[in-house]
Amino acid sequence: MSQILAAAPDEASAVFDVAAAMASITHSDVHTLAANPADYPDADSFLAELSRPGTLLGVLVPHPTDLWQVIQRSDKPLIVVPRHFIVRSSPAISRVLVPLDGSTEAALTVRDTMRLLADADVELIVLHVFDAAHTPMFWDQAAHARDGWEQEFRETCCIPPATKVELRRGTPGQRVVEVAAELHPDLVALGWSQNLAPGRARTVLTTVRDAKLPVMLVPVT
Amino acid sequence: MAAPYPEPEPGWAITWHSGDRLPRAVADAVLTIGAHGLATRGVAEEAPADARPVVLASGVYDRSVPGERLLPLPSWTGLDIDPAPAAWRQTLDLRTGVLTRTEAPVDHQRPLRTVRFVSAVRPGIVVLRAEATPGRVKPGDALRAYPGTPQAHRTFDGQYWLASAPGIAVAATHIQRDHDGVEVTERIAAYDTDGTARAEDLIAAVRRASEAGFDRLLTEHRTAWAARWTDAGVEIDGDTDAELALRYALFQLWCNVGGTTEAAVGARGLSGGGYDGHVFWDADVFILPAVASMAPDLARAMVSYRLHRLPAAKSAAAERGYAGARFPWESASLGVDVTPVTGDLGGETVAIKTGLWEEHITADVAWSAWHYARWSDDTAFLRGPGRQLLVATARYWTSRCRLAADGTAHIDTVIGPDEYHEGVSDNAFTNIMARWNLRTAAELVERATGSSPETRRWRRVAATLVDGYQPGTGRYEQFAGYFALDPLRIDAVATPPVAADVLLGRQRVARSQLIKQPDVLMAHHLLPDEPAPGSLVSNLDFYGPRTAHGSSLSPAIGASLLARAGRPDDALAELRTALRLDLDDVTGTTAGGLHLGAIGGCWQAVLFGFAGARVADGVLWLDPVLPSAWSRLGLRFGCLGRRVRLDIDHDDVAIETDGPLRVRLPGHADITVTTRARVALRTSQPRSTR
């Protein structure tokens, strides 16, 4: 049976609630790697466990020193749970926010995740933020333009049918955090290229830093 | 078996592979085929009916939905194919108007091949042939209803399928036969888009086509397309990409514009349900001028669409307390305004004011009728229905103008082509178009019946209508107060084309000098003699850096203006953007249908921009200029009742006609070309950059 890998420095951590919710969605077991500070694994140990066949994804808290090492090197999705996050609903994951920039690459990265969540009756909300790099060239008539744009956006990004699409303008990372606070999802799911070079992954960095909820990072395969 | 449809010649094929990066629905739109006001998207035969219509007909709207939308018609292309093809390519042969589909080689079975066309000879007749391993293709229902159109009534009498809905009826049949181990399925359908044919008429039409047989139907169809390409066409030495894209533009204009007594041409033509099939100024100002040079009868049908709705336009004016006729910003079957009242600007719900305020449409409609008549030399039209139209619109403008105490006339609370600034007064484009409308109507009436108090009033209002021209700079102020706005340039925001209103928000762009598309310059484009002489360049230099090109209509017109301003390399750069709009889906919305206004604009950019063609006083004026990447531009088009062929290089232009044609080129006396003439182009004189 497949597994969800969970690592947290204490038993009461929301990591285990989130991992249990993902296990329910994926019909997996939870494999607990640590439940006290002394046993908390370093990056290499965590990645070694994560790389085992049958492990679907990892759930962890942002360890002060190793977090980005783990995130950058993992070839499997990871959910980063804020250290003092408290799960307030049951199931722990019933609504997920999926920011998409409209590119085929980003869409393909999270396509399977969206499908999995949709099949498990999780409510999906896709967020697209118009910034200078991702604003359409043309918006002919505001009376009609969104219908055609959104229909094709859904097809390009393989968005499951019942998914709601939210549009905003501004800086993507900032808007993701704001919309997360506004719409109260239980999780944000982001595709990313694992490239932390200057100027890259701004949305990921901002979301992990500022969003007060678990963030799933799905690496480009 | 493959002989009747050989591979297209190089430079005439649009090819699409099933694994393309773009959504399948984009290919469906790009591979649209059509004729006589009936078009079909390039959907795969086994594709299930999805969220988009497959078959649409000009002017056939579903009036049961608020605001009307084009009615999705029963589809004739559906086949049940088991196993379904995994990989294939589709090829649209622009020269012959035939869409073929060829499956990638598969082990142990003959690759599926389909051929389809919408007959260019027999209005409403559509033909499909499929070849496959026996037993793989099941024809199933010959007519397949679009989901959510329960009003379509379908029957099957054992040989013919019949379907009908308000305004439309269709009959279809198919046969299957073996041919040397290949199973051939042939389907023929007849659509009646007038809503007048009886079932027996349609069955008779299908029977006649069936008796003619696939090969004859295909042969006559190809012959008709060959004739079209002798009437209009393009060759560009040194730029095969632009040449192919321009041929595609002409092809889709022929496919999407048509009708029997009139042609309602929506923003996406018949290639998709986008914009609900509503008719905007795209039809009058962007599509019609192109069509007039390709097929004057089709342009006349487009004008008829407006003429038939003149009573509705008169009612609209009266309802608002004005005289004359006021045409709607968005129009469908009835000619009443069907513009929605709310919309969406990149996620922000916004009030839509275009239906209330974008009133230049009324002058645009008048201009299109006048342009058709002048370009085609249809003088009888301007003495009859054309004059009635211009009189009605002139009466509207007279009553719509506010006369100030200082004797000047003004038009308040409008939206110009720019659309980033709403509810403005004295929009230069609107006022120049209204002024032209008033003067032209006066001229037509006075030519027929002499001067009258009414024509003198029109001329008086025209003479006092302000247009924002500032002689010191040569610039027109786009509207009263525009020059006082934040002088933001588009390069400070993003690289155009960009939907600046989506990026910045409606309020921010409204406070700035950013504009969506040519506005003042649209007057230079449509009416080169109306703006002040020499003002093209000064306004191009001012408004160009402020133009976001956030409308798909914008780049092609920008290209035309730049060419006329003697900047052909800059013009070509903008034209390339316009030419690839749909072929590369750069708008992200082509799945909903082709941007037919932009397509018409591309042909205008070449004909009016690079060739510098225009008609005045029964004379074809030419002022060619070529970009450095083009060594020769060959054009075929119709003008003043003649077929014209131009061969333009950097030194001279060769002109061929099929009858006497007066031609004027800068630096030369007028010549009358009877068969062929060659004229040297000036190289040192500036272009007439009006």
Residue in chain B lying closest to A137 (CA): B498
Helix (H), strand (E) at residue A26: helix A14-26
- B32 token code pair: 């649209």
Cβ–Cβ contact A112 with B under 8 A: no
Q: How far apart are CA B396 and CA B409, in angstroms?
A: 14
Look at A132 and B550 and tell me if their CB atoms are within 8 Å.
Answer: no
Q: How many CB atoms lie within 10 A of CB B89?
A: 15
Cβ–Cβ contact B329 with A under 8 A: no
Q: Which of B348, B503, B585 sits opposite A135 (nearest CB)?
A: B503
Residues A36 and A102 in one domain: no
Note the pLDDT of residue B685: 47
Look at A145 and B586 and tell me if their CB atoms are within 8 Å.
Answer: no
Instruction: Please answer whether residues B551 and B358 qualify as being in contact, where contact means their C-beta atoms are separated by less than 8 angstroms.
Output: no
For residue A161, CA distances in Å to A120, B51, B211, B503, B544 come to 14, 11, 46, 27, 42
Interface list for B 183-242 with A (CB within 8 A)? none
Q: Give yes or no for residue B166 having a pLDDT over 90.
A: no
Q: In chain A, which residues have their Cβ closer than 8 Å to the Cβ of B553? A: 140
Strand order, beta sheet including A3-7: A29-34, A3-7, A55-60, A78-80, A215-219, A187-192, A95-99, A123-130, A164-169
Q: Give yes or no for residue B522 having a pLDDT over 60.
A: yes
Note the pLDDT of residue A9: 81
Sign of the CA dihedral with A143 first, then A148, A151, and A152 last? negative
Closest to B385 (Cα-Cα) out of B291, B311, B293, B282: B311
Question: Alpha helix locations (H) across B581-655?
Answer: 596-604
Q: What is the DSSP letter of B274?
A: G
Q: What is the pLDDT of residues B590-639, one digit of tens each?
A: 999 999 999 999 999 999 999 999 999 999 999 999 999 999 999 999 99
Ramachandran angles phi, psi of A16, nearest 5°: -75, -35
3-state secondary structure of B478: coil
Note the pLDDT of residue B684: 46
Tell me the whole-structure pTM to 2 decimals. Answer: 0.96
Look at B587 and A153 and tell me if their CB atoms are within 8 Å.
Answer: no
Residues A63 and A162 in one domain: no
Residue A30 in domain: yes
Sign of the CA dihedral with A67 first, then A71, A74, and A77 last? positive
> Which of A127, A137, A183 would best serve as a mutation to test chain B binding (most B beta carbons within 10 A)?
A137
Q: Give yes or no for residue B516 having a pLDDT over 90.
A: yes
Q: What share of chain B is helix, strand, coil (3-state, %, to 5)?
A: 35, 20, 40
Q: How far apart are CA B563 and CA B608, in angstroms?
A: 9
CB within 8 A of B345, min separation 6: which ones? A139, A142, B501, B502, B505, B506
Please tell me the least confidently modeled range out of A106-120, A190-204, B143-157, B276-290.
Answer: B143-157
Ramachandran angles phi, psi of B237, nearest 5°: -75, 125
Note the pLDDT of residue B686: 45
Look at A146 and B339 and tell me if their CB atoms are within 8 Å.
Answer: no
Look at A152 and B354 and tell me if their CB atoms are within 8 Å.
Answer: no
Residues A215 and A114 in one domain: yes
Q: How far apart are CA B644 and CA B653, in angstroms?
A: 12
Residue in chain A lying closest to B275 (CA): A144
The third-level CATH classification (topology) of the domain covering B338-548 is Glycosyltransferase (1.50.10)
CB within 8 A of B111, min separation 6: which ones? B102, B103, B104, B105
Q: In chain A, which residues have their Cβ closer than 8 Å to the Cβ of B346? A: 130, 135-136, 139, 146, 167, 169
Specify the amino acid at residue B235: E
For residue B230, CA distances in Å to A194, B117, B330, B419, B531 come to 57, 20, 35, 39, 36
Residue A161 in domain: yes
Note the pLDDT of residue B68: 96
DSSP B410-443: E--SB--TT-SS-SBSS-HHHHHHHHHHHHHHHH
Look at B352 and A143 and tell me if their CB atoms are within 8 Å.
Answer: yes
Residues A163 and A121 in one domain: yes
Residues A107 and A213 in one domain: yes
Residue matched to tokens 């007909």: B57
Look at B350 and A142 and tell me if their CB atoms are within 8 Å.
Answer: yes
Start-to-end CA distance of chain B, whole Å, equals: 58
B164 vs B289, residue with greater confidence: B289
Instruction: Please answer whether residues B605 and B559 qualify as being in contact, where contact means their C-beta atoms are separated by less than 8 angstroms.
Output: yes
Range of the domain at A123: 95-219
Residue matched to tokens 């305020």: B357
Q: In chain A, which residues have their Cβ closer than 8 Å to the Cβ of B280? A: 141
Q: Which of B267, B345, B588 sits opposite A153 (nearest CB)?
A: B588
Look at A148 and B589 and tell me if their CB atoms are within 8 Å.
Answer: yes
Strand order, beta sheet including B619-621: B614-616, B619-621, B661-664, B671-673
Q: What is the pLDDT of residues A93-133, one digit of tens each?
A: 999 999 999 988 899 999 999 999 999 999 999 999 999 99
Residue in chain B lying closest to A150 (CA): B589
> Which of B419, B514, B587 would best serve as a mutation to test chain A binding (most A beta carbons within 10 A)?
B587
CB-defined contacts A:B, below 8 A: 125
Look at B550 and A137 and tell me if their CB atoms are within 8 Å.
Answer: yes
Nearest chain A Cα distance for residue B350, angstroms: 8
Q: How far apart are CA A172 and CA B556, in angstroms?
A: 32
Residues A49 and A99 in one domain: no
Residues A103 and A211 in one domain: yes
Nearest chain A Cα distance for residue B338, angstroms: 11
Q: How far apart are CA B217 and CA B210, in angstroms?
A: 9
Cβ–Cβ contact A179 with B under 8 A: no
Radius of gyration of chain B (CA): 25
Q: What is the DSSP letter of B112?
A: P
- A102 token code pair: 């409209």
3-state secondary structure of B357: helix
Q: What is the pLDDT of residues A26-69, one digit of tens each?
A: 999 999 987 677 777 888 889 999 999 999 999 998 866 678 88
Closest to A98 (Cα-Cα) out of A132, A58, A128, A122: A128
Q: How far apart are CA B28 and CA B90, in angstroms?
A: 10
3-state secondary structure of B144: strand
> Which of A108, A127, A131, A144 would best serve as a mutation to test chain B binding (most B beta carbons within 10 A)?
A144
Note the pLDDT of residue B49: 78
Residues A124 and A208 in one domain: yes
Q: Give yes or no for residue B418 having a pLDDT over 70.
A: yes
Residue matched to tokens 């942002």: A62
Closest to B249 (Cα-Cα) out of B661, B637, B527, B651: B637
Q: In chain A, which residues have their Cβ closer than 8 Å to the Cβ of B590? A: 152
Q: What is the pLDDT of residues B330-381, one digit of tens each?
A: 999 999 999 999 999 999 999 999 999 999 999 999 999 999 999 999 999 9
Look at B551 and A138 and tell me if their CB atoms are within 8 Å.
Answer: yes
Q: Give yes or no for residue B1 having a pLDDT over 80.
A: no
Q: Which of B25, B498, B550 sits opposite A155 (nearest CB)?
A: B25
The third-level CATH classification (topology) of the domain covering B13-231 is Beta-galactosidase; Chain A, domain 5 (2.70.98)
Residues A120 and A214 in one domain: yes
Cβ–Cβ contact A138 with B under 8 A: yes
Q: What is the pLDDT of residues B639-661, one digit of tens each?
A: 999 999 999 999 999 999 999 99
For the ranges A190-204, B138-152, B433-447, the one whose mean pLDDT is highest:
B433-447
Interface list for B 347-406 with A (CB within 8 A)? 347-348, 350, 352, 354
Start-to-end CA distance of chain A, whole Å, equals: 23
Note the pLDDT of residue B167: 82
Q: How confident is the model at residue B3 (pLDDT cuts 50, 70, 90)?
A: very low
Q: How confident is the model at residue B108 (pLDDT cuts 50, 70, 90)?
A: confident
Look at B592 and A142 and tell me if their CB atoms are within 8 Å.
Answer: no
Domain with residue A201: its CATH number is 3.40.50.620
Residue A55 in domain: yes
Please tell me the least confidently modeled range out of B2-6, B401-405, B409-413.
Answer: B2-6
- B394 token code pair: 């002139």
Instruction: Please give the average per-residue pLDDT across B55-65, as a whole number.
Output: 94
3-state secondary structure of A133: coil
How many separate domains does chain A show?
2
How many C-alpha atoms does B603 have within 13 Å on its Cβ side?
A: 28
> Which of B30, B358, B495, B502 would best serve as a mutation to test chain A binding (most A beta carbons within 10 A)?
B502
Q: In chain B, which residues have their Cβ closer than 8 Å to the Cβ of A152? A: 23, 25-26, 585, 588-592
Note the pLDDT of residue A64: 61
Q: Give yes or no for residue A216 having a pLDDT over 60.
A: yes
Cβ–Cβ contact A121 with B under 8 A: no
Closest to B371 (Cα-Cα) out of B300, B423, B435: B300
Instruction: Please give the average per-residue pLDDT across B314-337, as a whole number.
Output: 98
Q: Give yes or no for residue B548 having a pLDDT over 50.
A: yes
Q: Break chain B into its structural domains and give their ranges.
A: 13-231, 338-548
Q: Which of B24, B345, B552 sits opposite A138 (nearest CB)?
A: B552
DSSP B320-355: TT-SS----SSB-SS-S----SEEEETTEEEE--HH
The per-residue pLDDT of chain A, averaged, comes to 92
Q: What is the pLDDT of residues B211-268, one digit of tens each?
A: 999 999 999 999 999 999 999 999 999 999 999 999 999 999 999 999 889 999 999 9
Nearest chain A Cα distance for residue B575, angstroms: 15
Q: Which of B330, B345, B592 sits opposite A139 (nearest CB)?
A: B345
Note the pLDDT of residue B152: 62
Residue A90 in domain: no
Q: Which of B280, B587, B591 sits opposite A138 (nearest CB)?
A: B587
Q: How many CB atoms lie within 10 A of CB B451?
A: 11
Cβ–Cβ contact A137 with B under 8 A: yes
Interface list for B 517-536 with A (CB within 8 A)? none
Share of chain B above pLDDT 90, in %: 90
Residues A165 and A210 in one domain: yes
Cβ–Cβ contact A130 with B under 8 A: yes
Nearest chain B Cα distance for residue A44, angstroms: 38
Residues A187 and A145 in one domain: yes
Cβ–Cβ contact A152 with B under 8 A: yes
DSSP B42-110: ---TTPPP-SS-SEEETT-EETTSTT-EEPPBPBS---EESSPPSSEEEEEETTTTEEEEEEPPBTTBP
Residues A119 and A194 in one domain: yes
